[in-house]
Copies of this chain bind each other. A is one copy, B any other.
Amino acid sequence: MSDILVVGSVALDSVKTTAGKSVEALGGSATYFALSASYFTGVALVGVVGEDFPSEHRGTLERRGVDLAGLKAAKGKTFRWAGSYGKDASVAKTLATDLNVFKTFKPVLSEAQRKMPVVFLANIDPELQSEVLAQMKGPALVACDTMNYWIDSKPEAIKKLLAKVDVFFSNDQEAMKLTGAPNALQAAEVISSWGPTIVVVKKGEHGAFMKVGGKFYVFPAFPLARIKDPTGAGDTFAGGFLGYLASTSSFKDLSELKRAMAYGTTMASFNVEDFSTKNIEALDREAIDERFHDFAERMSVLRLEAGVKGRRAVPA
């Protein structure tokens, strides 16, 4: 069963980091999101690739059960991105962007896709995100992401979209740029006032926080002293978050939302440990839950009394 529809890019990425490089490897926002979410729920992907898209990459997504009925193969070449990272893994230097077939991407959803309960509008033109959303038939949960390029060029289109969105994912720099707020927490306050009931702000190595119902829920990153490739970490986080949430019975249960943050963190941590999708295409739920538990234990400070129902902090 497919629970989440993701609309976004499928790309061939060439990446150089301090740990090495990868050439024309599987990438794209929809790819990272779909692979990550696939460990928790069914995912259908809507996107476009060119005639040159390697069948092995298609196989990678299919092996994870991702529904590729919506992955169109168009005449021309696949979207390519090349970038590099220095010591500061939070800043990607774009070396080349060849949109190719992605330039004219204009998704028309099938009847089945329109009826899906959860939709993730990955980072594409915000006007296109709105057009896709308009095709949906009463989804239970709408989530989206964006990027600096659209914040600079179409900020009003983003604000218009956000009025119709439940969950907004952003990184801290983008959130501050979009709102003009002096810090990420204030930025999330402003974004909440535009519509989304859940605002998730990712801070790379410094973790992430979520604003829900006037309160901030804060999380560190899973500690990794050495990473290989940060590409796709944000979409992998969103995939873990929404994938887990879609597998629960409620989108409003705070405990589940906090666990969704921890699953997002967990999935992103696996992703940055290797190039491209190498790590997140070959996980299993047991390894994911093990790291989730490890992560939770590292920061758990509440003292539990045996036999007592619920949770109580017993400070000395």
Contact surface of A with B, Cβ cutoff 8 Å: 18, 40, 87, 182-183, 185-186, 189, 203, 205-207, 209, 215-226, 244, 247-248, 255, 258-259, 261-262, 285, 289, 292-293, 296-304, 306-307, 309-311, 313, 315-316
Contact = CB atoms under 8 A, between A and B. Distances in A.
Contacts of A221: 218
Given A262-B301, A303-B255, A313-B296, A216 B207 contact: no
A218 B298 contact: yes
A39 B164 CA distance: 48
Contact of A220 (B218, B289, B313): B218
- Total copies of the chain: 2
Contact of A206 (B189, B206, B259, B300): B206
6 contacts: A183-B225, A206-B206, A216-B223, A258-B299, A261-B301, A304-B310
A316 B218 contact: no
A130 to B, nearest CB: 29
A310 B315 CA distance: 17
Contacts of A244: 316
A185 to B, nearest CB: 4
Contacts of A223: 185, 209, 216, 218
Contacts of A216: 223, 225, 298
